[in-house]
Amino acid sequence: MALTLWVLVLGLTTAVLGLSTREGVPSRHGGARTRFRMPRPAVRRALVVVVLAGAASAAAASHVALAQPARTAVEDLALTGGRAVDIRADVIGKIERRADGSLAFDARASHVRIGDVKHPTPVEITVRVSAEDVDRPWQLDVGSTVDARGTAKPGRPGERAVLEVWASRGLEVVKAPSGSAAVAGGLRRGLVAAVHGLPGEGAGLIPGLAVGDTSVVSPSLDAAMKESSLSHLTAVSGANCALVVGIAFALAAALGASRRFRVACGVAVLAGFVMLVTPEPSVVRAAAMAAIAMLAVLLGRAGAGMALLSVAVALLLVLDPWLAASLGFALSVVATGSLLLWARPLATGLARAVPRPLALALAVPLAAQLACGPLLILIEPTVPVYGVLANLLAGPAAPAATVLGLAACLSGPLPWLQSGLAALAWLPASWIAATATTASTLPADALPWLEGIPGAVALAGVGLSIGLAIALERGGSRARRATRGIAIVVVAVLTGGGLGAAALTTLAGRWTLPGTWALLACDVGQGDAVLLRSEGAVALIDTGPDPEALAACLSRAGIDRIDLLVLTHYDLDHVGGLDAVRGRIGTVLHGPGDAKGQSAIASLTARGARATEASAGLSGSLGGARWRVLWPKAGSRAFPSGNDASVVLDVRGGGIPPTLLLGDLSASPQRLLTASGVLDPPYAIVKTAHHGSADQHAELYAAARPSIALVTVGAGNDYGHPRDEALKILADVDATIARTDRDGAIALWSAEAGSVAIWRDRGG
Max mean pLDDT among 304-308, 472-476, 690-694 falls in 690-694
- What confidence category does residue 30 fall into, taking pLDDT thresholds of 50, 70 and 90? very low
Among candidate residues 100, 203, 118, the one with its CA nearest the CA of residue 430: 203
Q: Say if CB 690 and CB 712 are below 8 A apart.
A: no
**Upper half-sphere CA count for residue 631 (Cβ side, 13 Å):** 33
> What's the rounded Cα separation, in Å, for the pair 240 and 677?
65
pLDDT > 90: percent of the chain = 23
Q: Say if CB 274 and CB 265 are below 8 A apart.
A: no
pLDDT per residue as tens digits for the range 543-583: 999 888 898 888 888 888 899 999 999 888 999 999 888 88
| Terminal CA-CA length for the chain | 67
Q: What is the mean pLDDT of residues 140-168?
A: 83
- What confidence category does residue 638 fall into, taking pLDDT thresholds of 50, 70 and 90? low
Residue type, 91: V
Among candidate residues 617, 618, 663, 619, the one with its CA nearest the CA of residue 644: 663
**Upper half-sphere CA count for residue 69 (Cβ side, 13 Å):** 3
Across 141-145, 213-217, 449-453, 702-706, least confident range: 449-453
DSSP H/E element including 31: none
Q: What is the mean pLDDT of residues 170-179?
A: 88
Q: What is the mean pLDDT of residues 432-438?
A: 89
CA angle 326, 330, 335 (to 5 degrees): 150
- β-bridge mates for residue 189, sequence order: none
- β-bridge mates for residue 288, sequence order: none
Q: What is the mean pLDDT of residues 728-739?
A: 94
pLDDT > 70: percent of the chain = 83
Q: What is the mean pLDDT of residues 319-324?
A: 81
Residue type, 373: G
Burial tier of 630 (Cβ tally within 10 Å: 0-12, 13-18, 19+): buried
DSSP H/E element including 541: strand 537-541
Q: What is the mean pLDDT of residues 66-81?
A: 69
Question: What does the pLDDT read at residue 235?
Answer: 67
Beta-carbon contacts of 598 under 8 Å, excluding residues fewer than 6 positions away, are none
Beta-carbon contacts of 44 under 8 Å, excluding residues fewer than 6 positions away, are 17, 38
**Neighbouring C-beta atoms of residue 331, cutoff 10 Å:** 23
Pairing of strands 756-760, 746-750: antiparallel
Question: What does the pLDDT read at residue 24?
Answer: 42
> What's the rounded Cα separation, in Å, for the pair 168 and 149?
7
Sign of CA dihedral 275, 276, 278, 283: negative
Across 306-315, 346-355, 411-420, 521-530, least confident range: 306-315
pLDDT per residue as tens digits for the range 40-67: 676 777 777 777 777 777 777 777 777 7
